[in-house]
Structures are given as structure tokens and as C-alpha cells.
């Protein structure tokens, strides 16, 4: 029936719709076609490439109705998207990981059920993280900054817009030049770095130390000289030396070393004490006596002062007795016999009696009287003839002629035909026939021997003996006249020891044990290994460089995967790397790795009229992306969200 009709429905876009029909009923043959096609559609010989409403008049000739078919055509298009993507090391696109730059395609059927192809123009950038292991002396300049201490230093050289954060790392070891100062006191000379120094001064030694750094050591050297003086002294009776009075011959020493001096200074006194002579002589003479070119004719005591053979002032004393001639003639006539001076005579004749002297030794007893002095004595008596008589005694008292001789000589001495080789007291009896005294001379003999001393001497580096420097071990002789005036030879058995000062240059890891001590820090250490009794002080020196093992910890965030020491890691975890560092020390680095994954999500949405996504309202169909970047420590994680949006508009059928 003809009329007006409405029709409510949901169109193919899913939108509520209402068509109104103003109907006039004829027997039309009008057909409506709703067609959805991809890219193009051919209808009744015509190709259509855009959506729209198309009609086709197929009225039959002579028909009362005009017959028109209507085509409601929706053309959906295949998707052909191009994406330009920068990524750090790798990117995942449609569940495929790409690690190289290039152009990649992805074929699929889009939401409109059309065959589609997306193109990815991919640029892969690699991390440019370079590690530098540098050893330098004193300081090192890197990227405009000067470093003076060892350490690990980063430098961020990320280019603007780069997807990778690029950080270079400098593992810097600063070795310092050595500048050591030594204050040394030495006796006579000092050896330093194979050079002998015999004068005080400041000396330098340039060298490259164990860390290959130019270095200079400075030696402040004070050289002291041995002050050992030998004194050869001959004195009479006594000698005073350094406050001490000496009365006998001998060798004496005096230590005058200064406190803190490296030299031991000892003076030596070779002392000979000679004595003055004091001889006494008792002499009887007739009428006169000559002594030391002086004529004496009277009894008395005389002295003679002189210097003896030892050069000492001396005095001899002469006790002199002068006798006069007493010759008397006696004429006697007697009977039968005659006794004269103790002798009986029985025949006439001329007899003599020498009564010039009655010699006695020390004393004489005459007629029970003791006489101890020379003189003329008388004795009155009555002789056998009854006549008063007087005897006269001409008495000469002799003293012992015992002479003491003090003689000093070399090696041997001949006295009265006998040779003596040792010091001693010797007696020689020179009593004259008929002498009332036994006379013995005494020889006080000092035999000074030629000196033949042997000295065993240990010395350090050199030794000075009698002003001659000796630097080698050996046997040496010295000829001289000793203090006793005797030709002498001394022998020196010399042993020269060398300083055993060794310098050790050692580089060790973490710690080093030397002579029982463990050292854990760089420095200069000494060890005294002088042997007991050695003339040399021996000190070894250790120039120690302690290099430390490296134990670095790295906290690393990475996207998808991370390459560390040529090993690719794609899981979070704790990893270690063992190696020998630049100082040749066993080392271990530890990496705490966190791996993040790309978060690219595709959303397929169909909406009516408009759609709001991530704060933006879209009113037309299309493919939209929302890029969100999460900044991490090592790379930027780019997460893309894709929305495939199809918007349908409500359509209203026109009224006919």
C-alpha cells in the first residue's frame, strides 16, 4: 500500500539509524546493494575506487516504472604505513628482533580485512661505551679535566637525539714520581748507587722508578774523617798525657770519639821512659886522682853532672881518699932473732916492709879496735925488750867498688865479653888481686826489641794505616824506627768488607712479605742485616709499590640485552668477570644487570563519530601512535602504542 513508513535499524557501521519511506506503490524493480570492497569495486561495467552511493537505471523499455538499482559502496583500503625508527642496539617489531639497520616489511590483513603491508625504516645505533685503562705519572688530562689521583672516572658523550646513552669509562692509575731525601753520616767515604763519595755535600740521583716515572733522590751527605793520631814519645822518668802521669814505658790509647760521630777516633801513645843515672864511686889514690878531666889531690866527695846515653840528666858521685907516701928506715941490732911487723928474722940482713897501706874493706880491727875510716893510727906498748914502743898503722879503708850500669839497647848487648838478648840485671866480678874488697859491677840492662807487630784489622770499604789508604784485603808491612830507636817492621793483616746495602724495587699485588713483615701500602722500607762484629752497617732498602686488585661493581640497566666483555646477557642477574688488571693483579668486576623489555602495544578500536586516546580526540579513521620514552641508565626504551581507529558516521536515507 502506498503510504509513509519508517524503519529503524543499526547500520553496518553499528550505528542506530532510521529510514523513512514515502511510498507510492508502483511495481518498480529497484534493487539496493550494500557492498564493502577492498581498494576498488566493479559494478555493471564500472570500477569504483571510493566509497559512495551509486545508481544504475535498468528501466525496461515500455515499463511504466523507472527501475533504478542503488549501490551503497564502502571501499576499504589496504594499510601501507611507513615507520622511521631509531633504536639502541636492537628493536622488536611484530615479535621479531632486529639488530641491524635496514628496511623491513610486515604483511597482514588489516581491520578492514584488506591485505596490508607496513614498512619499517630502521636505524640501529650501537652503544659507544669505551673503557680506557691508563697508567700515568703524577697527573693525566682526559677530555679537558686533569686528574691527580687513581680512580674510575666516567665521561658522558651521548649525541643529541641518539637513542643510546654513551658513557666512556677511564680506569686511571696515577703513579707518582719518587722524590726521596736521605740524610747520611759516613766515615771517610760513602757509596750510593755505585758511586763513591768522599766529600760532604748534596748529591742527586735521577732514575725511573718501578712505576716508570722519572724520579730524583737527594742525598745529604756528611763525611767525617778518622782522627787516629799516633804519638811516639821518649821522656825521662815520667810523662803526662791527657791528664794521666805515666812512669813506665808502654803503649797507651785515648778514645776521643765525638758523640754521634760515625768514626771511632783513638789516639795511640807509644811511650819510652828513660831514667837518669845516679852512680856512686869510692876511689883511693896516691897523692892525686884524675876524674872526668879534673885532677883532685884532696880527699872529698865530688859530683859530675851529665846527660846519659838515654838523654836524661844524670849525676855521678866520687868518694875520694888521697894517701901520702910514708917510707921509714929502721936500723936494728938484736940477739938471735928479731920480729918485725909480725915476721921473725934470725939472720942479719936488710928487710923491707911495705906499710904504705893497710887495705881493708869497709872496716879494719887493730889491737881490738875497729876502724872504718882511712887514717894513721898509733898503738903504744912495751916491746919484748921492755922498751916503750909505738906502732903506727897507716890504714886505708876501701869501699866496695860496685858500679851500677843502666844500659838500654836494641835486641842484644855485649858486656865484658858476654852477649845478652833479654832485659835483666847482670853482675860482673872485677875484684883486683890483693884487693880487700870483692867488687861486682851490676848491669841493669834494658833490651828494647825491634818491633814486629802483627795487626789483624777488619775495616769497611777502606782503611788508613800510616797515612796510606788501603781498599783491598791483604798483608801490608811498614818499616820504621820504633820509640826505642830500634829498626822495626809492623805487619797489617787487613780484611776489607764491602757495604752490603741492596736496593730492591718490587711491585706486588695487595700485599708483600719481606724479611718476615707484611706490607700493604706503597712505601720505602729498610732492613738492617748487619752481622755481629762486622765493620760495616748493612741496610737493605725496599722500594715497594703495592698495586691493588680491582673489584668494581656496575649497576646496569639495559634494553632487551646487554653485551659485557664480549658476552651477551638477556636476563637480569648478577654476573662476574675475572681478569688481570693493568697493574697485573688478579681482579673481579661484578655487574648487577637489569634487563627491560620493549612495551609496544597495538590497539584496534572501532568507535562512532570520535574517540579520545591518551588525551587526544580523533574524529577521522586512521593509524595513530603514542610514543612514550622511559629513560634508563644505559639506553632509552621507546614504547609505542598503536591505535587502528575506524570511525563510522550515521547515514540518513534521503526521502523520495
> How confident is the model at residue 25, as a pLDDT?
59
Burial of 402 (0-12, 13-18, 19+ CB in 10 A): middle
Give the DSSP letter string of 409-439: EES-EEETTEEE-S-EEEEEE-PPTT-SS--
Locate 422 and state its grid cell. 833479654
Q: Is residue 430 part of a domain?
A: no
Q: Which residues pair with 447 in a beta bridge?
A: 409
Q: Say which DSSP state 655 is in.
A: P
Q: Say which DSSP state 521 is in.
A: S
Give the DSSP letter string of 571-624: S-EEEEEEEE-TTS-EEEEEEEEEEE----EEEEEEEES-EEETTEEE-S-EEE
Of 28, 56, 76, the residue that ends a domain is 76
The Cα 105–Cα 433 span in angstroms is 162
Residue 481: band (very low, low, confident or very high) from pLDDT cuts 50, 70, 90: confident
Rg (CA), the chain: 71
Of 643, 644, 640, which is closest to residue 122 (Cα–Cα)?
Answer: 640
Digit-coded pLDDT (tens) for 405-414: 888 888 888 9
> How many separate domains does the chain show?
3
Digit-coded pLDDT (tens) for 503-534: 888 889 999 999 999 999 999 999 988 778 77
The Cα 539–Cα 216 span in angstroms is 20
The Cα 439–Cα 35 span in angstroms is 182
Mean pLDDT, rounded, of the chain: 83
CB 89 within 8 A of CB 124: yes
Beta-strand runs (E) in 309-423: 313-323, 338-340, 343-345, 358-361, 364-366, 369-371, 375-382, 388-398, 404-410, 413-415, 418-420
CB 301 within 8 A of CB 319: yes
Residue 490: partners with Cβ closer than 8 Å, 6 or more residues away: 451, 452, 453, 454, 455, 477, 478, 480
> How confident is the model at residue 54, as a pLDDT?
93
CB 259 within 8 A of CB 272: no
Q: Is residue 13 part of a domain?
A: yes
Section 481-510 average pLDDT: 87
CB 51 within 8 A of CB 43: no
Instruction: Record the pTM.
Output: 0.34
Of 454, 487, 455, 463, which is closest to residue 228 (Cα–Cα)?
Answer: 463
Digit-coded pLDDT (tens) for 205-238: 999 988 889 999 999 998 888 788 888 888 888 8
Three-class SS string for 44-107? Answer: CCEEECCCEEEEEECCCCCCCCCCEEEEEEEEECCCCCEEEEEEECCEEECCEEECCCEEEEEE
| Vertex 259: Cα angle to 256 and 260 (nearest 5) | 130
Q: Is residue 444 part of a domain?
A: no
Section 485-498 average pLDDT: 88
Of 348, 381, 398, the residue that ends a domain is 398
Q: Is residue 55 part of a domain?
A: yes
CB count in 10 Å sphere of residue 550 = 19
Q: Is residue 352 part of a domain?
A: yes
Q: Which domain holds residue 51?
A: 3-76
Of 35, 53, 76, the residue that ends a domain is 76
Q: Is residue 348 part of a domain?
A: yes
Tell me: pLDDT of 439 over 80: no
> How confident is the model at residue 634, as a pLDDT?
32
> How confident is the model at residue 204, as a pLDDT?
94
Burial of 268 (0-12, 13-18, 19+ CB in 10 A): middle
Of 556, 501, 548, which is closest to residue 522 (Cα–Cα)?
Answer: 548
> How confident is the model at residue 325, as a pLDDT?
59
Locate 550 and state its grid cell. 680491582
- Residue linked to cell 897507716: 394
Q: Is residue 256 part of a domain?
A: yes
Digit-coded pLDDT (tens) for 135-189: 899 999 999 999 999 999 998 888 887 788 888 899 998 998 888 888 888 888 8
CB 404 within 8 A of CB 444: yes
Range in 224-238, 317-331, 460-474 the model is least confident about: 317-331
pLDDT top residue among 365 and 629: 365
CB count in 10 Å sphere of residue 38 = 17
Tell me: pLDDT of 353 over 70: no
Tell me: pLDDT of 192 over 50: yes
Pairing mode, strands 52-57 and 68-76: antiparallel
Q: Which residues pair with 552 in a beta bridge?
A: none
Indicate the length of the chain as a whole number. 656
Of 391, 376, 378, 375, which is closest to residue 339 (Cα–Cα)?
Answer: 391
The Cα 207–Cα 197 span in angstroms is 19
The Cα 640–Cα 601 span in angstroms is 6
pLDDT top residue among 268 and 321: 268
> How confident is the model at residue 328, as a pLDDT?
62
Q: Is residue 511 part of a domain?
A: no
Write the Ramachandran bin of 515: left for phi over 0, alpha for psi from -120 to 50, otherwise beta: left
> How confident is the model at residue 28, as a pLDDT?
65
Digit-coded pLDDT (tens) for 45-89: 999 999 999 998 888 776 667 888 899 999 998 888 888 888 888
Residue 102: band (very low, low, confident or very high) from pLDDT cuts 50, 70, 90: very high
The Cα 569–Cα 595 span in angstroms is 9
Amino acid at each position: 500500500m502506498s503510504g509513509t513508513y519508517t524503519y529503524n535499524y543499526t547500520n553496518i557501521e553499528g550505528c542506530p539509524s532510521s529510514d523513512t519511506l514515502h511510498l507510492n506503490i508502483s511495481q518498480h524493480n529497484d534493487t539496493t546493494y550494500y557492498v564493502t570492497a577492498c581498494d576498488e569495486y566493479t559494478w555493471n561495467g564500472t570500477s569504483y575506487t571510493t566509497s559512495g552511493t551509486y545508481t544504475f537505471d535498468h528501466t525496461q523499455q515500455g515499463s511504466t516504472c523507472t527501475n533504478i538499482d542503488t549501490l551503497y559502496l564502502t571501499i576499504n583500503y589496504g594499510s601501507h604505513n611507513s615507520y622511521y625508527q631509531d633504536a639502541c642496539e636492537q628493536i622488536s617489531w611484530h615479535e621479531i628482533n632486529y639488530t641491524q639497520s635496514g628496511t623491513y616489511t610486515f604483511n597482514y590483513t588489516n581491520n578492514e580485512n584488506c591485505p596490508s603491508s607496513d614498512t619499517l625504516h630502521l636505524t640501529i645505533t650501537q652503544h659507544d661505551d669505551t673503557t680506557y685503562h691508563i697508567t700515568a705519572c703524577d697527573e693525566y688530562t682526559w677530555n679537558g679535566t686533569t686528574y691527580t689521583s687513581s680512580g674510575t672516572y666516567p665521561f658522558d658523550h651521548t649525541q643529541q637525539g641518539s637513542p643510546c646513552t654513551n658513557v666512556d669509562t677511564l680506569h686511571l692509575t696515577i703513579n707518582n714520581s719518587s722524590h726521596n731525601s736521605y740524610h747520611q753520616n759516613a766515615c771517610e767515604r760513602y757509596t750510593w748507587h755505585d758511586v763513591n763519595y768522599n766529600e760532604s755535600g748534596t748529591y742527586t740521583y735521577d732514575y725511573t722508578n718501578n712505576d716508570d716515572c722519572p724520579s730524583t733522590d737527594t742525598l745529604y751527605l756528611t763525611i767525617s774523617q778518622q782522627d787516629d793520631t799516633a804519638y811516639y814519645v821518649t821522656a825521662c822518668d815520667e810523662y803526662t798525657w791527657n791528664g794521666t802521669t805515666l812512669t813506665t814505658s808502654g803503649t797507651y790509647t785515648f778514645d776521643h770519639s765525638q758523640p754521634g760521630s760515625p768514626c771511632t777516633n783513638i789516639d795511640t801513645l807509644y811511650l819510652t821512659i828513660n831514667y837518669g843515672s845516679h852512680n856512686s864511686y869510692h876511689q883511693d889514690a896516691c897523692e892525686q886522682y884524675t876524674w872526668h878531666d879534673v885532677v883532685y889531690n884532696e880527699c872529698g866527695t865530688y859530683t859530675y853532672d851529665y846527660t846519659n846515653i838515654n838523654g836524661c840528666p844524670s849525676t855521678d858521685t866520687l868518694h875520694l881518699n888521697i894517701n901520702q907516701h910514708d917510707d921509714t928506715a929502721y936500723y936494728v941490732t938484736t940477739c938471735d932473732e928479731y920480729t918485725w911487723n909480725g915476721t921473725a928474722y934470725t939472720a942479719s940482713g936488710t928487710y923491707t916492709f911495705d906499710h904504705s897501706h893497710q887495705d881493708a874493706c869497709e872496716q879494719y880491727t887493730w889491737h881490738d879496735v875497729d876502724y872504718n875510716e882511712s887514717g894513721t893510727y898509733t898503738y903504744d906498748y912495751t916491746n919484748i925488750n921492755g922498751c916503750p914502743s909505738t906502732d903506727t898503722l897507716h890504714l886505708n879503708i876501701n869501699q866496695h867498688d860496685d858500679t851500677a850500669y843502666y844500659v838500654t839497647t836494641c835486641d842484644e848487648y855485649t858486656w865484658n865479653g858476654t852477649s845478652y838478648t833479654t832485659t835483666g840485671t847482670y853482675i860482673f866480678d872485677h875484684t883486683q888481686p890483693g884487693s880487700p874488697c870483692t867488687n861486682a859491677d851490676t848491669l841493669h840492662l834494658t833490651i828494647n826489641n825491634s818491633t814486629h807487630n802483627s795487626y789483624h784489622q777488619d775495616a769497611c770499604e777502606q782503611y788508613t794505616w800510616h797515612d796510606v789508604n788501603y781498599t783491598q784485603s791483604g798483608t801490608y808491612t811498614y818499616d820504621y824506627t820504633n820509640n826505642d830507636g830500634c829498626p822495626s817492621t809492623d805487619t797489617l793483616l787487613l780484611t776489607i768488607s764491602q757495604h752490603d746495602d741492596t736496593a730492591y724495587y718490587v711491585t706486588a699485588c695487595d700485599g708483600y712479605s719481606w724479611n718476615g713483615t707484611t706490607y700493604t701500602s706503597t712505601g720505602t722500607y729498610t732492613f738492617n742485616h748487619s752481622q755481629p762484629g762486622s765493620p760495616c752497617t748493612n741496610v737493605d732498602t725496599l722500594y715497594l709499590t703495592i698495586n691493588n686488585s680491582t673489584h668494581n661493581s656496575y649497576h646496569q640497566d639495559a634494553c632487551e640485552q646487554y653485551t659485557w666483555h664480549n658476552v651477551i646477557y638477556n636476563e637480569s642477574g648478577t654476573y662476574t668477570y675475572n681478569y688481570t688488571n693493568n697493574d697485573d693483579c688478579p681482579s673481579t668486576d661484578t655487574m648487577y644487570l637489569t634487563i627491560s623489555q620493549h612495551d609496544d602495544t597495538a590497539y584496534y578500536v572501532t568507535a562512532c563519530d570520535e574517540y579520545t586516546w591518551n588525551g587526544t580526540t580523533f574524529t577521522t579513521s586512521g593509524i595513530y601512535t603514542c610514543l612514550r620514552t622511559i629513560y634508563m641508565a644505559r639506553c632509552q626504551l621507546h614504547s609505542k602504542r598503536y591505535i587502528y581507529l575506524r570511525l563510522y558516521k550515521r547515514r540518513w536515507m534521503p526521502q523520495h
